[in-house]
Amino acid sequence: MLRRRTLIAAAGATALAPPAFAQNFPRKAVQMIVAFPAGGNTDIGARILASIAEKDLGQPITVVNKGGAGGQIGFTEGARARPDGYTVTFINLPSVSTIVLDPERKAAFKMDSFVPVVNQVLDPGVVWVKADSPYKTFADLLDAAKKAPGKISACTTGILSDDHLAILMVDDAAKVDFRIVHFEGSAQQLTGVMGGHVDCAFDNVGGIVKRVKSGELRALVVTDDVRSKFLPDVPTTKELGFPSVISSSTRGIAVPKGTPADAIKVLETAFLKAINDPEHIKKMDEQGLALKPMVGAEYAKYYADSHAAATKYTEWALKQR
């Protein structure tokens, strides 16, 4: 009887003990793939997060930039990585969705190739012009676009980027027709607008907030339902009567499908703790990058809902080719 009780007690202790994988993970450095070049908002946010999360994780987090093809190169490598928890990928929505939805891009991954772990940033869209532009308000810009269909130019940071989809949303909601100009990133976008070659830009708050505050640029509207704390004087699309025009770039961490749940939980815990760390919050505020922590079921639902929302305007954009 004593031996049987001992065995039962031992079995109970084993059942209550953490899985061996979780106890031993991670035992080496974790690689974080950023699918865009160094120095951009995604890269800046990723490096700030990695530097804080690695303290709690107990292992270095090495950020590796795999830029190119609007994120497709980096996302592909992240999706194909060994699903052992040692490779995480910074995923950008809706970029992941639009790559999957575009048949010409022949994506080697699907939406379910990734398991979303934790979201870090929700960077709302913004429409901006240079400081001396004749368009003082968003209404001014729309009025001009209505009077001259296809003449007022609006630029993006890439085909099927969140900025591109935002222009289509405005076209649809305001019944206008912007002449869309695609650039490969915000640097070209800035040159195009400041040089007078393009009338306005659709971008994200984090990318232009410092230039707006310096007086170099004028923000006309934020494509969100609440005002940005970084641009509190700029109205939202909802305020101006366009509640359907909600656009942003979200950035978070995902792992390849098949990664053990124990490893995912360890990563989720470490990164979420880092996101809520005062040092992380301070540094992200300095960059004008708004935080939106999401984990578990909430992030999984957002991941699915974001893809569904992107589908309509991606299909529209593809028809216009």
* pLDDT tens-place string over residues 243-282: 999 999 999 999 999 999 999 999 999 999 999 999 999 9
* pLDDT tens-place string over residues 98-143: 999 999 999 999 999 999 999 999 999 999 999 999 999 999 999 9
Predicted pLDDT at 315? 83
Tokens 């928890």 locate to 85
Q: For the purposes of burial, counting CB atoms within 10 Å of the CB of 18, is it exposed (0-12), middle (13-18) or buried (19 or more)?
A: exposed
Q: Which band of pLDDT confidence, cut at 50, 70 and 90, is reported for residue 321?
A: low
Predicted pLDDT at 41? 85
Residue 229 pLDDT > 70: yes
Q: Which domains does the chain have, with CATH numbers?
A: 29-123+249-319 (3.40.190.150), 124-223 (3.40.190.10)
Q: For the chain, give the mean pLDDT.
A: 91
Predicted pLDDT at 57? 96
Predicted pLDDT at 234? 98
Instruction: Give pTM, 2 decimals.
Output: 0.85
Residue 300 pLDDT > 70: yes
Q: For the purposes of burial, counting CB atoms within 10 Å of the CB of 31, is it exposed (0-12), middle (13-18) or buried (19 or more)?
A: middle
CA nearest to 310, candidates 99, 143, 39, 38: 99
